[in-house]
Chain A
């Protein structure tokens, strides 16, 4: 069945460091891929998405490219800020759009 694997955290970085959070998936067909972010005490917010191979999603300095050949959707940011501290979830959408399959989440902690 479909599944998502993302790197275990926590990830601890200093402000302005480069961020990579790895995400790989297993799926039949061509699913849409998403990154969601969860700040403390809040629900999930969409960070970015990509709907087909080689698409690049981007938002707030974060980027991720849909790589079909490596079944990956790694999240990157060139210079993290303290305000980026949160839990990041990689997710795969089923073709009917009725459910998301999430990775376990990666906790990012950025210090000044």
Chain B
């Protein structure tokens, strides 16, 4: 069973540019979420999508956006890049949807996309 696939693995951009990162979830997983990992702030939740709908959003500026396609693949976009956006961006997928057991959802993470902004 293929894991969560993120592309590209590494990329370098300059300030002011925009970037799009892609995530293919595990087959059958309908929930996809994104996290930003930096040495200073640690792991921070960006947003979560299920059935092409954003269900939850973290505390990030509007420059950070995402979407999910009908095949559950997801993309996130960061516009007008700043130096502080340099980070490892992790995508995770989960098979569960909602209900009493939803809180126990186990996320499977991809290896991440490492973005460097110069």
Chain A positions near chain B (C-beta within 8 angstroms): 31-32, 34, 36, 41-46, 49, 51, 89, 93-105
Contacts and interface: CB of A to CB of B under 8 A. Distances in A.
Nearest to B6: A43
A52 B95 CA distance: 20
A97 B104 contact: yes
Nearest to A50: B104
Nearest to B108: A46
B64 interface: no
B interface bracket (residues with beta carbon within 8 Å of A) = 20 to 34
Contact of B42 (A34, A36, A42, A104): A104
Given A97-B104, A98-B33, A43 B109 contact: yes
Contacts of B112: 43
Contacts of B96: 97
A49 B104 contact: yes
Interface of B: 4, 31, 33, 35, 42-45, 48, 50, 55-56, 58, 90, 92, 94, 96, 98, 101-112
A104 B38 CA distance: 10
B94 A105 contact: no
B111 A42 contact: yes
A43 B31 CA distance: 17
Contacts of A105: 42-43
A98 B46 CA distance: 11
A97 B33 CA distance: 11
24 contacts: A32-B104, A32-B105, A36-B109, A43-B92, A43-B111, A43-B112, A44-B43, A89-B43, A95-B102, A95-B103, A96-B103, A97-B31, A97-B94, A97-B96, A97-B103, A97-B104, A97-B105, A98-B31, A98-B55, A99-B48, A99-B58, A101-B45, A102-B42, A103-B42
